[in-house]
Amino acid sequence: MDFYRKTTLGLFDSSQKSFEIPVYQRAYSWEKDQWQTFLNDLLEQIEGENNYFYGNILLETVKKDVKYEIIDGQQRLTTLTIFIRSILNVLKKREKELEDFDFQTKENIFLKNGGNIKLRPVEYDRACFDSLIIDNQKKFETNTPSQVRIKEAKTFFVTELEKLKTDILLRVLTKIETTDLTIIELEGKKDSALMFELENNRGKDLTNMEKIKSYFMYQMYVYSDPEQTESNIENVSNIFKLIYLIINDFKRLNEDSVLIYHNNAYIKGYNYRTLEDVKEVFKKSEDKIDWIKKYISELHTSFSNMKKFESSDNFYAKKLSKINAPAFIYPFVIRGYKYFGDDSKKLNTLFNILEVLTFRARLINSRANIQERLNSILLNFKGDLINLKQEIKSKLNESWYWSDTNTKNYLNGGMYGNKVLNYLLWEYENSIQNKGYSIKNFSLENEQIEHISPQTPTDGEPIATGYDLNEDREYSEDFVSEHLNSLGNLMLISGSHNASIGNKAFKDKLDSYKANPLLNQQAEIKDFANSENEAVFWKTESIEKRHKKIVDFAIQKWSFDKVETTYLEKELIEDEKK
One-character DSSP codes across 328-345: GGHHHHHHHHHHHTT-HH
Q: How would you label 45-54 residue by residue, b for 16+ Cβ within 10 Å and e otherwise?
A: beeeeeebeb
Q: Give the model's pLDDT for residue 135.
A: 95
Diameter over CA atoms, the chain: 96
Q: CA-CA distances (angstroms) from residue 396 to 258, 373, 429, 438, 553?
A: 26, 8, 27, 32, 20
Kindly tell me the burial class for residue 14, based on how many C-beta atoms sit within 10 Å of its own C-beta (0-12, 13-18, 19 or more): middle
- For 20, how many CA atoms within 13 A lie in the half-sphere containing its CB? 15
Contact present, 421 and 413 (Cβ < 8 Å): no
Query: Is the Cβ–Cβ distance between 37 and 135 less than 8 Å?
Result: no
User: Do residues 366 and 426 share a domain?
Assistant: no
The reply to whether 23 falls in a domain is yes
* Terminal CA-CA length for the chain: 64
Q: 375 and 294 in one domain?
A: no
367 in a structural domain: yes
SS3 7: strand
CA 477 to chain centre: 44
- Are 341 and 477 contained in the same domain? no
pLDDT beneath 50: ranges in the chain: 198, 201-204, 436
In a domain, 571, yes or no: no
pLDDT tens digits along 405-448? 999 999 999 999 999 999 999 999 999 986 545 555 677 889 99
SS3 311: coil
262 forms bridges with which residues in the sheet? none
| DSSP class of 482 | I
Angle at Cα 375 formed by Cα 372 and Cα 378, nearest 5°? 150
Indicate whether 473 belongs to any domain. yes
Same domain (yes/no): 453, 322? no
pLDDT value at position 27? 87
Same domain? 444 vs 469 = yes
pLDDT computed for residue 202 by the predictor:
39
User: From CA 176, how far away is CA 81, in angstroms rounded?
Assistant: 11
pTM equals 0.77
Q: Quote the number of domains for the chain.
A: 4
**Closest by CA position to 133, among listed 83, 77, 75, 72:** 83
Give the pLDDT score at 182. Answer: 85
Domain of residue 356 covers 312-400
Would 263 be classed as within a structural domain?
no
In a domain, 264, yes or no: no
Beta strands in 474-561 (DSSP E): 490-493, 530-532, 535-537
Same domain, yes or no: 214 and 144: no
What is the rounded CA–CA span in Å between residue 385 and residue 364? 24
Provide the pLDDT for residue 194: 56
The reply to whether 577 falls in a domain is no
pLDDT at 119: 95
**Does residue 566 sit within a domain?**
no
